[in-house]
Homo-oligomer: A and B are copies of this chain.
Amino acid sequence: MLNKKNLRHLMVAAATALTLPAMAQQNYKQDSVTIKKIYDNALTSTKSYEDLRYLTKNIGARLSGSPQAAAAVEWSRQVMEKMNLDTVYLQEVMVPHWVRGDKEVGRILNSKLLGSVDANIAALGGSVGTGKQGLSAEVVEVKSFEELEKLGKKKVKGKIVFFNRPFDNTELVTGAAYSGAVDQRGGGPAAAAKLGAVGVLVRSMTNDIQDVPHTGATRYQDGVEKIPAAAISTKDAEQLSSLLKDDANLKFYMRMTSETLPDVLSYNVIGELKGTQKPDEIIVVGGHLDSWDIGEGAHDDGTGCMQSIEVLRLFNELGIKPKRTVRAVLFMNEENGLRGGLKYAELAKARGEKHIAAIESDAGGFTPRGFGLDGTKSQLQTVLNWKPLLAPYGLHEIAPGYGGADIGPLKGQGSVALIGFKPDSQRYFDYHHTMIDTFEQVNRREMQLGAASMASLAYLLSEYGL
Enumerate chain A interface residues (CB-CB to B < 8 A).
Answer: 4-5, 7-8, 11, 39-40, 43-44, 169-170, 172, 174, 176, 207-208, 367, 369, 391-394, 396-397, 399-401, 424, 426-427, 430, 443-446, 449
Contact = CB atoms under 8 A, between A and B. Distances in A.
A393 B446 CA distance: 20
Contacts of A401: 4
B5 A207 contact: no
Nearest to A40: B170
A170 B39 CA distance: 7
Contact of A399 (B8, B169, B393, B399): B8
A4 B208 contact: no
Contacts of A11: 399
Contacts of A446: 426-427
Q: How many copies does the complex hold?
A: 2
Nearest to A36: B170
Contacts of A4: 400-401
B172 A39 contact: yes
Contacts of A426: 367, 443, 445-446, 449
Across the A-B interface, give the 8 residue pairs with the lowest CB-CB distance, nearest first.
Answer: A396-B396, A40-B170, A426-B445, A43-B169, A367-B424, A426-B446, A44-B169, A367-B426
A5 B179 CA distance: 13
Nearest to A46: B209
A207 B445 contact: yes
Given A7-B400, A424-B424, A426-B367, A172 B394 contact: yes
Contact of A443 (B44, B400, B427): B427
Contacts of A443: 426-427, 430
A32 to B, nearest CB: 14
29 contacts: A4-B400, A4-B401, A5-B176, A7-B400, A8-B399, A39-B170, A39-B172, A40-B170, A44-B169, A44-B170, A169-B445, A172-B394, A172-B449, A207-B444, A367-B424, A367-B426, A369-B394, A391-B396, A394-B397, A394-B424, A396-B396, A396-B397, A424-B424, A426-B443, A426-B446, A426-B449, A427-B443, A427-B446, A430-B443
A174 B396 CA distance: 19
Nearest to A41: B170
Contacts of A392: 172
A431 to B, nearest CB: 11
Given A399-B8, A426-B367, A426-B449, A393 B172 contact: yes
A203 B169 CA distance: 41
A444 B209 CA distance: 10
A7 B380 CA distance: 15
Nearest to A11: B399
A5 B401 CA distance: 11
A399 B427 CA distance: 26
A175 to B, nearest CB: 11
Contacts of A8: 399
A44 to B, nearest CB: 5
Nearest to A172: B393
Contacts of A7: 400
A391 B391 CA distance: 13
Nearest to A45: B169
A369 B170 CA distance: 18
A392 B446 CA distance: 22
A43 B170 contact: yes
A226 B129 CA distance: 70
A311 B45 CA distance: 41
Given A39-B172, A367-B367, A427-B445, 10 more contacts: A11-B399, A44-B169, A172-B449, A367-B426, A391-B396, A394-B424, A424-B424, A426-B449, A427-B443, A430-B443
A185 to B, nearest CB: 21
Contacts of A208: 444
Contacts of A43: 169-170, 172
